[in-house]
Structure 1
Amino acid sequence: MTDDHKAIVPVWTLATGDIRVPALVGDEPMTAERLAELRGVLAVLADKPIATLEVHPLPGTLDRSRGIPLDAASPLAHHLSQLISQSARSSSVAGATSATGEGLYRMVIPAKVAAQFGQGLVCPMAAKGAAGGIRSALVNSSGIAAHATFVPVGKAAATGAVGGSAATAGVAVAGSAALTVAAPLVLMAVAVGMSANADHKRQQAIERITELLEQLQEQKLDDERNELDGCRDTIDKAAAILLDQGKLGVSLGLDSAVHAINKALAAADRRLTRWQSALDKLPDGRAVDIGTLTKSFPGIDENGGTFRAHLELAALAIALKQRVIVLQAVEHAQMDPGNPYESFARALKADQQRLDKLESGLAGVLERLSALELARPNSLLPVLTNSEVDRLMRAADRVHRLRDSIMVNSRQTDVAIEIARSRDGSVVVFPALPA
């Protein structure tokens, strides 16, 4: 982070409903470690989701192209502006730090709550050029510098009641003075962050598929890619409308886009079943001839190959479906304004379960393939030629490296959503990340 040892970081605790929790926050400064402990305690004790929101200085260089921009009139930007202005009047710390409103706002959702959003919806995004790196708007990977001092914002007015209106709700009852009811702000931040995360996955999948198809030159796979990527414009428009609390119309064509995505998911399901069946037919404990393997997994021994293209098409369909799920959840929550967060979580979880099953199945296929031992090709000669040895070694290495593609989402983690706010009130919301 860019903070120095004198940095003061205001932190709000935001509830999504009127709840009772012990007075844990108070108004004393905290370390990053203490803040992390507080999140865990609040997640255990509170019966409704509680998020924390920090405001940091904007980094000198910030790649805003990775996020979703929203103007100052959008609900998320409006709720955030209201929190800033009302907190500034009652808190000298918040007023001094967010006087201009410009900053990098970081909302952290506890792991217990984040699990409601499905296993596959939030996962690390590898940073190019850094092994194991995580893309983040913040300078360091954890997003919190240990030397920063976090000061609770006390007696802050809320940004909106549970119902999603912009009206002030006041401080949550009988709890810490720093606890505010801000369901709309939390809901919109999660929705945009999840949507940006899914779109980032889509972009990554498209890049990989394009590279593979340039090698394969297969028109059928190219048509599948084009049909899926053609849904992007419709989904982008639907996201813009819903995130501005508009209503989706038939003319938008979202139904057609969802139909194309569902077709692609059905194709991925069929391919997965075929791959699982092929693996089941292989003899247990015996080496597999590379020729036998490539009949069911064409191109598995090559850099590209049809099998890898099918995997990437499945990843693209999953990413697009995840974004649609978020949009449908937002629409569902807006239709039930009296209970937005619970409705949002339920709608996400219902459809996400199918995607979790598909992702788990694909990961299982890759795991089984990577554990296979490859046998020498069938030959009348007692000794392999140099070219056959080279092919076998390359194939074994490529098959074993399939495990590197497996995304492991079993460990629950806090989810961080970073929002860059400009002086004019407009915001850019970055893809949701494990905190």
Structure 2
Amino acid sequence: MAEDRKAIVPVWTLATGDVRAPALAGGEPMTAERLAELRGVLAVMADVPIATLEAHPLPDKLDRSRGIPLDAASPLAQHLSQFITQSTRSSLTAARATAMGENLYRMVVPAKVAAQFDKGFICSMAAKGTVGGIRGPLVTSTGRIAAGATFVPVGKAAAAGAAGGAGATAGVAAAGSAALTVAAPLVLMAVAVGVSAHADNKRQQAIEHITELLEQLHEQKLEEEHSALDGCRDAIDKATAILLDQGKLGVSLGLDSAVHAINTALGAADRRLARWQTALDKLPDDKPVEIGTLTKSFPGVDEHGGTFRAHLELAALAIALKRRVVVLQAVDHAQSDPGNPFENFTRALRRDQQRLDELESGIAGVLVRLSALELARQDGLMPVFTAGEVDRLMRAAHRIRRLGDGVTVNGRTTDVAIEIARNKDGSVVVFPALPMGA
């Protein structure tokens, strides 16, 4: 999409509860940089989670297949539609920007708030064939929309909150505070679907890699482990659809069996991680490591495929599936207490994700340590290297060094953006949550 330097982008400030905060924007037009500052200040000064919502023109080309589609009757679509309808009654800027009925809405959750639910959940997904590239429809990651846009705060918009919706708190924040719309259900559902879509994208990436690796390895046990995990998707997809329609999870969905299979795979990943860490601890610190010694504990680490890499991808798949289940459990927990859905949601996520964070961090640490190793050839009778040994050593060193590429250990939490494409009929597609500025 070409830059439109005259674009006017309405932006709403949303709270998940009654909150007092100074009126920082004052209704004056802002730049993208000024808006980022506003989000940070509000996050620091407010007592409840604060998010911003922008309405951009819908891009001509948008890969909707990567998002989660929801029809117009879904709670998120209804919350968004009601929010837009009420906002246009009191804001000419909002009315003009949303008149066509189709927009790309971007909800940005500040880093401080994102830290409440985001540890390993939200991270950049590298695009194939592009160094430093990021997958996703996040139009502002390239600045193509926001770079030339003028952001206009929309004040005192009527709040979103469908009757009977999860935590249908609605209204404008307490008098004397900034124009913060209390829209807990809208924020909760957008975050839940965006995080779920992100986790499913990670699952798809892992599936692609595992399929390729297993075609090379022909190992029955790994095939069975892969099949058991891949078979969980149907139950998780059904549970996601039901919860996002505010239904109740039942035993007939098969979610319990799926969770058992995922937990079994996570247990295997934990055991493998412990073995990898022990093997690395036994390696000498002051001299190169023979390739043969390394491959005993990390079979195939010096090859393009290999069992070790298959184990890595199986762990990534199990983690991605478990993260989707954790989101489902958190939404279910939040909807059981309509009074404070966002607080319950983030509390459930923090409690359940700790094990996943530790496992993912441990695997990242192993990859970083492996990538820093200095390799030596296998001991033999010949006092000099053969041409074949030199080639193998160089290939192995290159592949092992690349294990650390893109690995983030204890990364800094950034603002998280969730984009929602809204169609004229009110249906929406929610794209994977991604870090801002990636």
TM-score by structure 2 length? 0.96
Give the alignment of 1:107-186 within 5 angstroms: 107-142=107-142, 145-160=146-161, 164=165, 169-176=170-177, 178-186=179-187
Give the alignment of 1:354-433 within 5 angstroms: 354-433=355-434
How much has 1:137 moved relative to structure 2?
1.6
How much has 1:166 moved relative to structure 2?
8.4
How much has 1:168 moved relative to structure 2?
7.5
Give the alignment of 1:26-175 within 5 angstroms: 26-142=26-142, 145-160=146-161, 164=165, 169-175=170-176
Which residue of 2 is the match for residue 199 of structure 1?
Answer: 200
How much has 1:4 moved relative to structure 2?
0.8
SS at match of 1:309: helix
Over 3 Å counting, the alpha-carbon distance change for 1:162 and 1:342 in structure 2 is farther
Alpha-carbon contact 2:167-2:339 (below 8 Å) kept: no
Identity %: 78
How much has 1:141 moved relative to structure 2?
1.6
Offset from partner CA, 1:198-242 (integer Å, 9 cap, x none): 000000000000011111111110111111011001000000000
Which residue of 1 is the match for residue 24 of structure 2?
Answer: 24
SS at match of 1:55: strand
Alpha-carbon contact 1:32-1:149 (below 8 Å) kept: yes
How much has 1:182 moved relative to structure 2?
0.2
Over 3 Å counting, the alpha-carbon distance change for 1:168 and 1:366 in structure 2 is closer
The separation in 1 between residues aligned to 2:233 and 2:166, in whole angstroms, is 30
Number of matched pairs: 435
Offset from partner CA, 1:373-429 (integer Å, 9 cap, x none): 111211101112111111111111111111015234521100000000000000000
Alpha-carbon contact 1:318-1:355 (below 8 Å) kept: yes
How much has 1:135 moved relative to structure 2?
2.1
The separation in 2 between residues aligned to 1:390 and 1:175, in whole angstroms, is 72
Alpha-carbon contact 1:417-1:429 (below 8 Å) kept: yes
Offset from partner CA, 1:7-45 (integer Å, 9 cap, x none): 000000000001111111221111111101100000000
Alpha-carbon contact 2:335-2:341 (below 8 Å) kept: yes
The separation in 1 between residues aligned to 2:406 and 2:91, in whole angstroms, is 48
CA RMSD of aligned residues (A): 1.6
How much has 1:128 moved relative to structure 2?
2.5
Over 3 Å counting, the alpha-carbon distance change for 1:139 and 1:338 in structure 2 is closer
Amino acid at match of 1:264: A
Which residue of 1 is the match for residue 255 of structure 2?
Answer: 254
The separation in 1 between residues aligned to 2:149 and 2:266, in whole angstroms, is 45
The separation in 1 between residues aligned to 2:211 and 2:314, in whole angstroms, is 10
Amino acid at match of 1:266: G
Q: Which moved more, 1:386-395 or 1:296-305?
A: 386-395
The separation in 2 between residues aligned to 1:217 and 1:311, in whole angstroms, is 17
The separation in 1 between residues aligned to 2:130 and 2:92, in whole angstroms, is 40
SS at match of 1:361: helix
Alpha-carbon contact 2:169-2:183 (below 8 Å) kept: no
Alpha-carbon contact 1:12-1:52 (below 8 Å) kept: yes
Which residue of 1 is the match for residue 291 of structure 2?
Answer: 290
Q: Which moved more, 1:154-163 or 1:398-407?
A: 154-163
Alpha-carbon contact 2:23-2:179 (below 8 Å) kept: no
Amino acid at match of 2:67: G
Offset from partner CA, 1:98-147 (integer Å, 9 cap, x none): 12331000000000010111311000111233211122324442565222
Alpha-carbon contact 1:193-1:431 (below 8 Å) kept: yes
SS at match of 2:146: coil
Offset from partner CA, 1:254-313 (integer Å, 9 cap, x none): 000000000000000000001111111112211111111111100011000000000000
SS at match of 1:146: helix
The separation in 1 between residues aligned to 2:163 and 2:353, in whole angstroms, is 25
Alpha-carbon contact 2:210-2:314 (below 8 Å) kept: yes
Offset from partner CA, 1:151-186 (integer Å, 9 cap, x none): 111221000289945867221112556310000000
Alpha-carbon contact 1:302-1:398 (below 8 Å) kept: yes
The separation in 2 between residues aligned to 1:161 and 1:206, in whole angstroms, is 38
Alpha-carbon contact 1:162-1:338 (below 8 Å) kept: no
Alpha-carbon contact 1:161-1:182 (below 8 Å) kept: no
Which residue of 2 is the match for residue 325 of structure 1?
Answer: 326
How much has 1:196 moved relative to structure 2?
0.1
Amino acid at match of 2:296: K
Amino acid at match of 1:153: V
How much has 1:3 moved relative to structure 2?
4.6
Offset from partner CA, 1:59-117 (integer Å, 9 cap, x none): 11010000000000000000000000001111111011112331000000000010111
Q: Which moved more, 1:71-80 or 1:134-143?
A: 134-143
Alpha-carbon contact 1:122-1:197 (below 8 Å) kept: yes
TM-score by structure 1 length? 0.97
SS at match of 1:99: coil
